[in-house]
Amino acid sequence: MHKETQRLIELDREHTLIAHIGALLGWDQETYMPPRAIEERSSQLALIEGLAHEKAVNPEIGELLAALEAKTDLSDDERAYIRVVRRDYDREVKFPQEFVTEYAKAASMSQAAWAEAKRKSDFAAFRPHLERMVELNRQKAAYLNPSAKPYDVLLDLFEPGSTQESIARVFSVMKAYLVDILEKIRSVPQVADLCSGRRVDPAVQEKISRYLMKVLQYDRERGRLDVSAHPFTTTLGADDVRITTRYVEDYFPSSLFSTMHESGHALYELGIDPGPEFRGTKLADAASMAIHESQSRMWENIVGRSEAFWQKHFPAISALLGEAGEGMDCVSFVKSVNKVEPSLIRTEADEVTYGLHVIARFEIESALFDGTLKVEDIPAAWNEKYRTLLGVEVPDDRRGCLQDVHWSMGAFGYFPSYALGNLYAAQFWAALTIEVPDIEAQIAAGDTSMVLSWLRQKVHVHGSRYQPGELVQKVTGSPLDPVWFEKYLRAKYSRIYGF
Amino acid sequence: MHKETQRLIELDREHTLIAHIGALLGWDQETYMPPRAIEERSSQLALIEGLAHEKAVNPEIGELLAALEAKTDLSDDERAYIRVVRRDYDREVKFPQEFVTEYAKAASMSQAAWAEAKRKSDFAAFRPHLERMVELNRQKAAYLNPSAKPYDVLLDLFEPGSTQESIARVFSVMKAYLVDILEKIRSVPQVADLCSGRRVDPAVQEKISRYLMKVLQYDRERGRLDVSAHPFTTTLGADDVRITTRYVEDYFPSSLFSTMHESGHALYELGIDPGPEFRGTKLADAASMAIHESQSRMWENIVGRSEAFWQKHFPAISALLGEAGEGMDCVSFVKSVNKVEPSLIRTEADEVTYGLHVIARFEIESALFDGTLKVEDIPAAWNEKYRTLLGVEVPDDRRGCLQDVHWSMGAFGYFPSYALGNLYAAQFWAALTIEVPDIEAQIAAGDTSMVLSWLRQKVHVHGSRYQPGELVQKVTGSPLDPVWFEKYLRAKYSRIYGF
């Protein structure tokens, strides 16, 4: 390893330590912090973020990168490492300070305006803020790469290597089959939801969550489960990755599947191991948000909502539920938690309609940045997409285009990752089932260790060594192909719905 | 306020923020951190400590202090503030870097050696380390103030304004009456301990702890209760002061009284309010460790172990205990938790023998630094003190002079604060009972709010505005006088033991 790389690693590790300290401040704020501590906590966070920024824009990083990029004898790992360091460094240094300040101020005002507009279902009041955030995101893209399409630059921030065109291509295939499967499901009798309205004590739900963490081999020597308003996973160190869940008293599957979802994220983070030389560096970051999502969705859905999984674990859960679980068997439980029903919001959507929510937003974002849709026309476009894609009527903007915080923060290009995660998960799963043909039998016997060890070895260890496109090619032998998700959905839902 | 003071406050606040971030890292380590995170946590703490040190030795502080100290028109608050900033600044800058490094290394080796020596009860193995720590503490004192007696310098670090002579004076008075009271108690029948061996579920103990926090008006909007191996209080912000307790299954009073003890510390920290100008500065630190201890001991002992307090609250605790509380009434409970019995260690000692443990250690430390006792003679001296002061035979050094971690860390001069806390508490209490003659009746009626508001107004608000000696003079009208603790003990124990 070159001495410049070693120095880069030193600087990087210090930055990582600071980032992890910031993560603890954030975790504590969401879990245990007494409410009135919020004011000083904001100052503590600002101080840590300031420090992290200071480390991130250190000109020495630029000099080391330049020196290394001129070399021809880099190892593969060095090359990958320099790529991710360059990427983050450019992001930190390419924005003028006044732009950063302006953006932060506008985003803050926009979020406040959004919250108020959502409450009143008043899109007109939010519109100027949204226009400003779109404009600022165009500028942001121009600072990063003035010669690329702005939306491509934004997408690349979340999913390295992706473009509007590449995503549109897979989404158009996905859209066709999601609509088709949804139609098929609508043509047959709906399954019963036996879980809604069943009151389950949060203490019981917590026991079930801990049971599931154990089944999934999420090591509590290196992690934790706590409660927060919105479930999340956070990394506080290479050996400290924590998840949260929440306990909805009259819908216990919520905590079960969010625990498995967040466990999937945590297992990924805990499995990253680009070797001791790169421990604590950016090479130990995840490959992308969509790859991250593929891990959470695989455990939540492909494993966690499968019949095989519950064959073994339903009796245990049932025992923990006690009276609250009466009148439900394994088959009816699995059907219940796989019920497909178009709704107004992605967050609680089933596996079939989930992608349609994402497509709706992607198509609107694309049109916005292409200039074929004006901000003022978003509500109409939104409602039309929900009508045609999901077959639901949006009653008001509060439950329509104002439903979600992302746009108000300026997070354009973020949503596709949610659906790409499902596609990656299905493609990884297909590869896994080919290599381990009896995987379903293993799961049905209560053993998911092969799933974890396969993911560890194929996906997790690499961290950000490969871009998502390279990774899926390396793991599965072919580029991202939405057909695997189609195969998975058709097999699963034809069984559940009998079509 | 002078502009130099304003600038000092700016620098100070940033240091405080960093210290509070460090406190969160520490709190999390003791409460929720997954075990394998310890390695990175150490690096995170080292980074934060490094940052804090960097801020603390900023030469600008020295310049500002010099400029301010030359002024003749300082307000009282400015003068007090400059005193505490000067004190901390000198402590940070007066040690050469190589001494700091050497000290840290020696202390670390000494602690490891102590742990091993304690396990084997092998004082000889620990002796060279202890000799080194004594020698390094002499050097430390010389760096801080070469013209003062070393032990005086060390004592002043924990109890500003105190000296070996001033402490010896109050301790000699205290020793006489503690020995006398102990003799009296030994001459009458012992009270029964009805609490030991009663198994109480930790969940029940937690409910009782939360009940007591509420009674004491420890606001959970600004604090928390968690569990740790050793109970502690930590300040993470002006509005974020947390305590921990532990639940001993077969001795439930342990959690009750440690919760009240730590609540007392927390109430103090939360009550400090030197005005908005000095919020988040060193003027918002406690006056001293002994003043801190006076607050915890007042709630734990003077209020918390009083008959008046339990008249109101015993029925509630009893209801929470359920079956586990059977066969115990208020009077027998109060007697049980006030049982006086000499033992080998301070940490669990009753109010009468507690001070004797501290005196034993103070006398040994005094002799060590006076040069009249050699380290090698500590075990014999220790055992002799325990024989004459407490009337107990020390069976081995593990339970004798090796019992405690403080010396191995080099914390000489620390112990007197523990006993001074009792003296301050009794003197404050005497003043309170004169100003509020019906305080006992109020407490018996379940209302301790007057105790808190009196302490808030007289002691808490000031922070470190006054040195302990000034504070006790201001609050009670006279200097520290051990007679108040004597009066308190004689009244209380003659009632309990009937002598």
The rounded distance, in Å, linking the Cα atoms of A298 and A261 is 8
What CATH number does the domain located at A123-499 have? 1.10.1370.30
The rounded distance, in Å, linking the Cα atoms of B410 and B368 is 13
From B272, B293, B280, B269, select the one nearest B465 (Cα to Cα): B272
Helix (H) or strand (E) holding A198: none
The rounded distance, in Å, linking the Cα atoms of B334 and B328 is 10
Helix (H) or strand (E) holding B240: strand B240-245
The rounded distance, in Å, linking the Cα atoms of B262 and B242 is 9
The rounded distance, in Å, linking the Cα atoms of A316 and A204 is 12
The rounded distance, in Å, linking the Cα atoms of B45 and B25 is 7
DSSP A32-97: T--GGGHHHHHHHHHHHHHHHHHHHT-HHHHHHHHHHHT-S---HHHHHHHHHHHHHHHHHHSS-H
Please report residues of B whose CB lies closer than 8 A to that of A20.
Answer: 40, 44
Please report residues of B whose CB lies closer than 8 A to that of A14.
Answer: 47
CB-based contact B37 A236, cutoff 8 Å: yes
A491-494 own/partner pairs: CB under 8 Å, 24+ apart: A492/A306, A492/A338, A492/A351, A493/A181, A493/A184, A493/A185, A493/A338, A493/A340, A493/A352, A494/A184
Cβ neighbours for B315, distance < 8 A, ≥ 6 positions apart: B330
Q: What is the pLDDT at residue A88?
A: 95
Q: What is the pLDDT at residue B399?
A: 96
Q: In chain A, count of helices (H) and strands (E)? A: 21, 3
Q: What is the pLDDT at residue B259?
A: 98
User: Residue A320 class from Cβ within 10 Å (0-12 exposed, 13-18 middle, 19+ buried)?
Assistant: middle
CB-based contact B238 A48, cutoff 8 Å: no
DSSP 8-class letter at B348 = G
DSSP B320-347: HHGGGGTT--HHHHHHHTT-----S-GG
Q: What is the pLDDT at residue A214?
A: 97
Cα–Cα distances in angstroms (integers) from residue B38 to residues B43, B205, B230, in the given order: 9, 29, 18
Cα–Cα distances in angstroms (integers) from residue B410 to residues A57, B129, B154, in the given order: 41, 10, 10
Residue B400: both structure tokens together: 């004798």
CB-based contact A34 B280, cutoff 8 Å: no
Which residue type is seen at A290?
Answer: A
Which residue type is seen at B80?
Answer: A
From A276, A215, A269, select the one nearest A240 (Cα to Cα): A269
Residue A316: both structure tokens together: 């245990």
Angle in degrees, CA A13, A14, A17, rounded to 5: 85
Q: Closest residue of B to A13, CA-based? A: B43
Chain A interface residues (partner B, CB cutoff 8 A): 14, 17-18, 20-21, 24-25, 28, 32-37, 39-41, 43-44, 47-48, 51, 220-224, 226, 236-240, 242, 280
Q: Closest residue of A to B16, CA-based? A: A44
- How far is the alpha carbon of B1 from chain A, nearest alpha carbon, in Å? 24
From A299, A321, A327, A307, select the one nearest A428 (Cα to Cα): A299
Sheet order of strands, B240-245 included: B223-227, B240-245, B233-237
Q: Say if residues A423 and A170 touch (Cβ distance below 8 Å).
A: yes
Q: What is the pLDDT at residue B243?
A: 98
What CATH number does the domain located at B154-499 have? 1.10.1370.30
The rounded distance, in Å, linking the Cα atoms of A152 and B201 is 59
Q: Read off the pLDDT band of A347 (50, 70, 90).
A: confident
Task: Indicate the average pLDDT of chain A.
Answer: 96
The rounded distance, in Å, linking the Cα atoms of B116 and B125 is 9
Of the candidates A48, A224, A239, which has its C-beta nearest B21's C-beta? A48
Q: Is A243 helix (H, G, I), strand (E, B) or coil?
A: strand
Of the candidates B21, B47, B222, which has its C-beta nearest A25's C-beta? B21
Helix (H) or strand (E) holding B166: helix B164-186
* Maximal C-alpha separation, chain B: 69
Residue numbers of chain B with a pLDDT score lower than 50: none
User: Which one from A4, A159, A262, A293 is the annotated catalytic residue?
Assistant: A262
What CATH number does the domain located at B1-93 have? 1.20.58
What pLDDT digit, counting tens, does each position of A92-111 carry? Answer: 999 998 999 999 999 999 99
Please report residues of A whose CB lies closer than 8 A to that of B35.
Answer: 221
Q: What is the pLDDT at residue A78?
A: 97
Which residue type is seen at A470?
Answer: E
Interface test with B, best of A41, A42, A49, A219 (most B CBs within 10 A): A41
Q: Closest residue of A to B219, CA-based? A: A34
Angle in degrees, CA A100, A105, A108, rounded to 5: 120
A262 part of the active site: yes
Q: What is the pLDDT at residue A124?
A: 97
Q: How many CB atoms lie within 10 A of CB A436?
A: 15
Please report residues of A whose CB lies closer than 8 A to that of B280.
Answer: 40
CA atoms within 13 A on the CB side of B282: 22
Q: Say if residues A381 and A373 touch (Cβ distance below 8 Å).
A: yes
Residue A376: both structure tokens together: 């003022």
Of the candidates A36, A48, A226, which has its C-beta nearest B239's C-beta? A36
The rounded distance, in Å, linking the Cα atoms of A69 and B442 is 77
Helix (H) or strand (E) holding B457: helix B449-458
Domain ranges, ordered by start, for chain A: 3-93, 123-499
Cβ neighbours for A73, distance < 8 A, ≥ 6 positions apart: none
From B476, B473, B483, B482, select the one nearest B161 (Cα to Cα): B473
What pLDDT digit, counting tens, does each position of B340-367 carry? Answer: 999 999 988 999 999 999 999 999 999 9
Q: Say if residues B496 and B188 touch (Cβ distance below 8 Å).
A: no
Cβ neighbours for A141, distance < 8 A, ≥ 6 positions apart: A148, A150, A151, A152, A153, A154
Cα–Cα distances in angstroms (integers) from residue B131 to residues A434, B107, B124, B377, B412, in the given order: 68, 11, 11, 11, 12
Q: Read off the pLDDT band of A348 (50, 70, 90).
A: confident
Q: What is the pLDDT at residue B348?
A: 84
Please report residues of A whose CB lies closer than 8 A to that of B223.
Answer: 34
Beta bridge partners of A243: A225, A233
Residue B190: both structure tokens together: 């012992």
Q: Is A323 helix (H, G, I), strand (E, B) or coil?
A: helix
Residue A435: both structure tokens together: 């290599």
Q: What is the pLDDT at residue B347?
A: 86
Q: Closest residue of B to A19, CA-based? A: B44
What pLDDT digit, counting tens, does each position of A352-402 carry? Answer: 999 999 999 999 999 999 999 999 999 999 999 999 999 999 999 999 999
From B209, B219, B191, B441, select the one nearest B312 (Cα to Cα): B441
Residue B455: both structure tokens together: 């302490």
User: Which one from B78, B159, B262, B293 is the annotated catalytic residue?
Assistant: B262
Residue pointed to by tokens 């003197």: B427
- B265-280 b/e (C-beta count within 10 Å ≥ 16 → b): bbbbbbbbebeeebbb
The rounded distance, in Å, linking the Cα atoms of B292 and A70 is 61
Please report residues of B whose CB lies closer than 8 A to that of A34.
Answer: 220-224, 239-240, 242
Which residue type is seen at B320?
Answer: L
The rounded distance, in Å, linking the Cα atoms of A436 and A194 is 33
> What are the φ and ψ backbone dihedral angles of A464, each rounded to 5 degrees?
-100, 20
| Interface contacts A/B by beta carbons within 8 Å | 97
Of the candidates B48, B239, B242, which has its C-beta nearest A40's C-beta? B239
From A262, A259, A267, select the one nearest A286 (Cα to Cα): A267
The rounded distance, in Å, linking the Cα atoms of A352 and A186 is 12
Q: Is B60 helix (H, G, I), strand (E, B) or coil?
A: helix
Which residue type is seen at B351?
Answer: E
Residue pointed to by tokens 């903007």: A397
Q: Is B243 helix (H, G, I), strand (E, B) or coil?
A: strand
Q: How far is CA B91 from the centre of its chain?
A: 21
From B284, B292, B295, B264, select the one nearest B17 (Cα to Cα): B284
CB-based contact A17 B47, cutoff 8 Å: yes
- How far is the alpha carbon of B36 from chain A, nearest alpha carbon, in Å? 6
Please report residues of B whose CB lies closer than 8 A to that of A237.
Answer: 37, 40-41, 44
From A457, A468, A419, A463, select the one nearest A435 (Cα to Cα): A457
Q: Are strands B240-245 and B233-237 parallel, antiparallel or unpaired?
A: antiparallel
